[in-house]
Amino acid sequence: MHVTELVITVILFALVTGVGFWAARWRRPPHLHSLDEWSLAGRTFGPWIGWFMLGGDLYTAYTFVAVPALLYGTGALGFYAIPYTAIEYPLVFLILIRLWSVCRTHGYVTPADYVRGRFGSPTLALAIALTGVVATMPYIALNLIGIQATLQVIGLNGHWPLIAAFIVLAAFTYRSGLRAPALIAFVKDVLVYLMIIVAIAYIPAHVGGWGHIFTVFNAHFTSVKPHTGLLLTSSNQAQYATLAFGSAAAIFLYPHAVTGVLSTRSRDVVKRSIAWLPVYSIVLGLIALLGAVALAAGIKPLASGGTANTNTIIPGLFESVFPHWFAGIAFATIIIGALVPSAVMSIAAANLFTRNIYKEYLRPHASDREQAEVSKVTSLVVKAGAVLFILGLQPQFSINLQLIGGVIILQTLPAVFVGLYTRWPHRAGLLAGWAAGLATGVAMLYVTGNPAAKQAHWGGSAFALSHLGFHTAVSMYTGFIAVVVNLLVTAIVTVAAKALRVPDGVDETAAADYYTDEADLPTQETEVIAA
Amino acid sequence: MSADLSPPVPRRSDHSPWNYLLLIPVVLPLLTFLYNSATPRLFGIPFFYWFQMLLAPIAVLASVSTFYLARRGTRRPGSAGREG
């Protein structure tokens, strides 16, 4: 047990808990009894808060521990998160302002709300909502893995610290809604930047310099894993590029990312936040390199449940090189880093249930207040579910599900992103494309094994094209192939449905709705009070 | 900042020639053959790694320039100069 680290972690955690509860009074709303107030903080965030909020939301604790762990475990291929997070913002820069405008005009809270309004199909909206929930749940669970890996290094091995942390998180999210993670994001990000600047300034020199680090890194992969290494090989370059691109296209389809975007005040705020968000990717690049540093420093992963948990290498590296008090700050940072996205994800998943299942099918006339109450309670259920995931199942199962999550959330791209630009697809086409994309995606993941981990199925997101009968060693990102299938089926079924005159849904949005801005909206009561 | 008093444009659009700047950070990372090399090294870091770390600042530069350049001349009254 590392007492100093534990004490510092507990103090910082207590500070953040206070911030989380106090957040209910921040930018004081007249009340929190509507989804707009509880789950979108009144849609009033400006560029600074928007930037911190989205950064805190998208760069999770899992990112901080898993990205370097990936470099440590797989070499060059594990660096894909860097091009991925450089592509994602420029890619969605123009798309998200249209999504923001149409959602603001019609009061949509979830991506599925938008799909329902655009394509006039509650069934399609249900499909989009369920996909979002299924993709989000294991994501929350993975954040717990980030916390667990840190607690393991501190020396706390039981389940109770994890459960206690999540009960606290659930309580302040219930009370303060999106305001809690938004305010905590400031604390989190200051700590993250502090931790990384110190880590990068201090550790590499301590370990023998970058030249030495990469010599060890290269030697390790040449001797241990000849198929991967310091650079990409001829067979995994296509996989690397499609994985980076596919992940970049997928991230803003996740409900929690949409929640972050919709909490902002204007199109300008969306653009400015998105334009500056790659600053976080600079930090992520530095964090990723720590994976190579850990290898050179001889950090070995701790075992959990009989298997080596590579996610412990970053906490392990900090423990071995930092003084105790600073290791404590770093550990607290990782744990707090898990709280922000977990809170937003649980809010987003709860909203999907409330808007696209409860209100759609159970209580069509539910008031704003009732919807907010349902979402608040559902957010507790979602978090409890994520904890049960971790306690009841092998961590590997959550990782597999997360892998599937990335592939399936990408299958909502035709309805959500393509739908923002054209109303051409027929609702039947989108539904068929979604189903085809899901089926092929999951089937491809199933047949992919991982010989190194002795897994026959769910072994990774690199689909070997040899499965299709091609004589090649080339692999591609499963999600990318699945979304291509999805788009093709959507197009074919759309043509067929239109030829057969199958009735299409009614589009409740107008062309001008996609350009609505702050100035077009009536001044809100909340803004007056916030000022 | 002085408010632009020209009347609102009747038909709105997000089109701007500056938007094409966004293609640079989207396409460049996909061209793996450009950077899949160990040399030249920078502070001992192989090219593959330090080049890709440059992609994030390139993305910031491209999207921030797009934002400010595309906004010039298209600003409407009411959306000017509000900070926070």
Domain ranges of chain B: 17-71
| Chain A CB within 8 Å of residue B22 CB | yes
| Interaxial angle between packed helices A122-154 and A160-176, expressed in degrees from 0 to 180 and rounded to the nearest 10 | 130
Yes or no: say if A528 and A26 are a contact pair by the CB < 8 Å rule: no
Instruction: Count CA within 13 A, CB hemisphere, residue A272.
Output: 21
Count other Cβ atoms within 10 Å, centred on residue A422. Answer: 7
3-state secondary structure of A449: coil
Strand A462-464, strand A475-477: pairing: antiparallel
Q: Quick check: B76 and A285 CB within 8 A?
A: no
Q: Which residues contact A132 (CB under 8 A, 6 or more apart)?
A: A110, A111, A112, A254, A255, A348, A349, A352, A409, A412
Note the pLDDT of residue A306: 63
Q: Is residue B77's pLDDT more than 60?
A: no
Report which DSSP code applies to A455. Answer: B
Cβ separation B25–A87 shorter than 8 A? yes
DSSP A225: -
Question: Which residue in chain B has the smallest CA separation from A234?
Answer: B33
Contact between chains at A279 and B56 (C-beta distance less than 8 A) = yes
A281/B56 touch (CB, cutoff 8 Å), yes or no: yes
Q: How far is B53 from chain A (nearest CA, A)?
A: 6
Residue A315 to residue A303: CA distance in whole angstroms: 14
How far is the C-alpha of B28 from the C-alpha of A241, rounded, in Å? Answer: 10
B26/A91 Cβ within 8 A? yes
Distances (CA, A) of A448 to A253, A308, A438: 25, 22, 16
| B34 interfaces chain A, CB cutoff of 8 Å | no
Residue of A86, A266, A279 with shortest CB distance to B79: A266
Please name the amino acid found at residue A357.
Answer: I
Q: Which chain A residues contact residue B55 at CB under 8 A?
A: 82-83, 86, 281
Residue contact B62–A90, C-beta within 8 A: yes
> Hey, are the CB atoms on B52 and A230 less than 8 Å from each other?
no
- The minimal CB distance from A90 to the residues B14, B22, B84 is found for B22
Question: How many angstroms separate the CA atoms of B19 and A334, rounded?
Answer: 36
CA distance A227 to A236: 10
Candidates A83, A286, A517; nearest CB to B29 = A83
Rounded to a whole number of angstroms, the CA Rg of chain A reads: 23
φ/ψ of residue A326, rounded to 5: -75, -35
**Is the torsion defined by CA of A476, A247, A484, A446 positive or negative?**
positive
Q: In chain A, which residues have their Cβ closer than 8 Å to the Cβ of B56?
A: 82, 85-86, 278-279, 281-282, 284-285
pLDDT digits (tens, 9 = 90+) for A182-192: 999 999 989 98
Q: List, in order of start, the domains of chain A with CATH numbers.
A: 3-16+35-519 (1.20.1730.10)
Q: B69 at the A interface (CB within 8 A)?
A: no
Say yes or no for a CB contact (<8 Å) between B36 and A97.
no
Helices A267-276 and B47-71: crossing angle in degrees, nearest 10, is: 160
Q: List, in order, residues 6 or more apart from A531 with CB less than 8 Å away.
A: none
CB A363 within 8 A of CB A355: no
What is the per-residue pLDDT for A206?
87
Residues 6 or more apart whose CB falls under 8 angstroms from that of A483 comprise A246, A249, A410, A411, A413, A414, A437
Subunit contact A87:B13, Cβ cutoff 8 A:
no
Residue of A388, A345, A417, A330 whose CA lies nearest to A96: A417
Q: Which residues contact A337 (CB under 8 A, 6 or more apart)?
A: A56, A59, A60, A61, A64, A146, A188, A192
Distance from CA of A401 to the nearest CA of B (A): 26
Hey, is A368 helix, strand or coil? Answer: helix
Q: Would you give per-residue pLDDT tens digits along chain A (531 residues)?
A: 788 989 999 999 999 999 999 998 888 777 778 999 999 999 999 999 999 999 999 988 778 888 898 899 889 988 999 999 999 999 999 999 999 999 999 999 999 999 999 999 999 999 999 999 999 988 888 888 888 888 888 888 778 888 998 999 999 999 999 999 999 999 998 998 898 889 988 899 888 899 999 999 998 888 876 667 899 988 889 999 999 999 999 999 999 999 999 999 999 999 999 999 999 999 899 999 999 999 999 898 887 666 677 888 998 999 899 999 999 999 999 899 899 999 999 999 999 999 999 999 999 999 999 999 999 999 999 999 988 888 877 777 777 777 788 999 999 999 999 999 999 999 999 999 999 999 999 999 988 887 767 778 888 888 888 888 888 888 899 999 999 999 999 999 999 999 999 999 999 999 999 999 988 887 654 444 443
Q: How many helices (H) and strands (E) does chain A have?
A: 23, 4
> Quick count: other Cβ atoms within 10 Å of Cβ A300?
11
Residue of A nearest to B41 (CA): A211
Contact A519 B76 (CB under 8 A): yes
B25 in contact with chain A, both atoms CB, cutoff 8 A: yes
Q: What is the pLDDT of residue A151?
A: 87
- Residues of A with CB below 8 A from B71's CB? 268
Q: Is the pLDDT score of B64 beyond 50?
A: yes
Identify the pLDDT of residue A351. 96
CA distance B3 to chain A (A): 13
Cis peptide bond upstream of B40, omega within 30: yes
Q: What residue in A sits closest to B12 (Cα-Cα)?
A: A515
Residue A295 to residue A81: CA distance in whole angstroms: 19
**Could A515 and B36 be called an inter-chain contact, meaning their C-beta atoms sit closer than 8 Å?**
no
At position A322, the amino acid (one-letter code) is F
Q: Give the A:B interface size as CB pairs under 8 Å.
A: 132
- For residues A519 and A130, what is the distance between their CA atoms, to the nearest angstrom? 34
pLDDT at B53: 95
Q: Is A79 helix (H, G, I), strand (E, B) or coil?
A: helix
Which of A86, A230, A272 is facing B46, going by the closest CB pair?
A: A230
Whether residues A231 and B38 touch (CB distance < 8 A) is answered with: yes
Which of A91, A284, A516 is the mutation pick for testing B, counting most B CBs within 10 A?
A91
Q: What is the pLDDT of residue A531?
A: 37
Pick from B56, B57, B66: CB nearest A85: B56
